[in-house]
Amino acid sequence: MTKSVVITGSTRGIGYGMAEEFLKRGCQIVVSGRKQEDAAAAAERLGQVFGSDRVLAQACDVGAYDQVQALWSAAVEQFGKVDIWINNAGQAQAIQKFWETDEGLMESVVQANLLGTMYGAKAAIRGMLAQGFGELYFMEGRGSNGAYAAGMALYATTKRGGNYLFESLVKELKGTPVKVGALSPGMVVTDLLTRQRADDPENWESTKKIFNILADKVETVTPWLVENILANEKHGAEIRWLTRPKILWRFMTASFNKRDLFEEELVEG
Domain extents for the chain?
Answer: 4-186+217-242
**21 neighbors 47 (Cβ within 8 angstroms):** no
Q: Are the CB atoms for 57 and 111 separated by under 8 Å? A: no
Q: Which segments within 22-133 are labelled E, that is strand? A: 28-33, 55-59, 84-87
pLDDT band for position 267 (50/70/90)?
A: very low
Q: How far apart are the C-alpha atoms of 175 and 240, rounded to whole Å?
A: 24
Is residue 266 predicted with pLDDT exceeding 50? no
Residue 251 contacts by C-beta under 8 Å, 6 or more apart in sequence? 213
Instruction: Report the range of poorest mean pLDDT among 107-121, 124-138, 200-214.
Output: 200-214
Average of per-residue pLDDT across 171-177: 98
Q: CA 160 to CA 149: how far, in whole Å?
A: 12
Task: Check whether 160 has a pLDDT greater than 50.
Answer: yes
CA distance 75 to 69: 10
pLDDT-derived band at 127 (thresholds 50, 70, 90) equals very high
pLDDT at 200: 61
Please tell me which residue, 233 or 241, carries the higher pLDDT value: 233
| Rounded CA separation 91/113 (Å) | 6
CA–CA gap between residue 250 and residue 227 (Å, rounded): 23
CA gap 168, 149 in Å, rounded: 24
b/e map 40-71, b = 16+ CB within 10 Å: bbbbebbbeebeeebbbbbbbbbbebebbbeb
pLDDT value at residue 142? 85
Strands in the chain per DSSP E: 4-7, 28-33, 55-59, 84-87, 134-139, 178-184, 188-189, 216-217, 237-240
**CA 256/CA 85 separation, integer angstroms:** 40
Please say if 119 is a catalytic residue: no
Helix %, strand %, coil % of the chain (to 5): 50, 15, 35
| pTM as predicted | 0.89
Q: For 31, phi and psi rounded to 5 degrees?
A: -95, 135
Average pLDDT over every residue of 154-171: 97
Which whole number is the average pLDDT over 83-96? 92
Question: What distance in Å separates the CA atoms of residue 63 and residue 104, rounded to the nearest whole number?
Answer: 14
Residue 94 is predicted with a pLDDT of: 80
Q: What CATH fold (topology level) applies to the domain 4-186+217-242?
A: Rossmann fold (3.40.50)
Q: What is the mean pLDDT of residues 225-245?
A: 93
Q: How far apart are CA 255 and CA 258, in angstroms?
A: 7
pLDDT band for position 265 (cuts 50, 70, 90): very low
User: pLDDT at residue 258 above 60?
Assistant: yes
Lowest mean pLDDT segment, chosen from 20-24, 85-89, 239-243? 239-243
Is the pLDDT confidence value at 247 over 90?
Answer: no
Catalytic residue among 16, 148, 155, 164: 155
Q: What is the mean pLDDT of the chain?
A: 89
Rounded to a whole number of angstroms, the distance between the first and last alpha carbons of the chain is 31
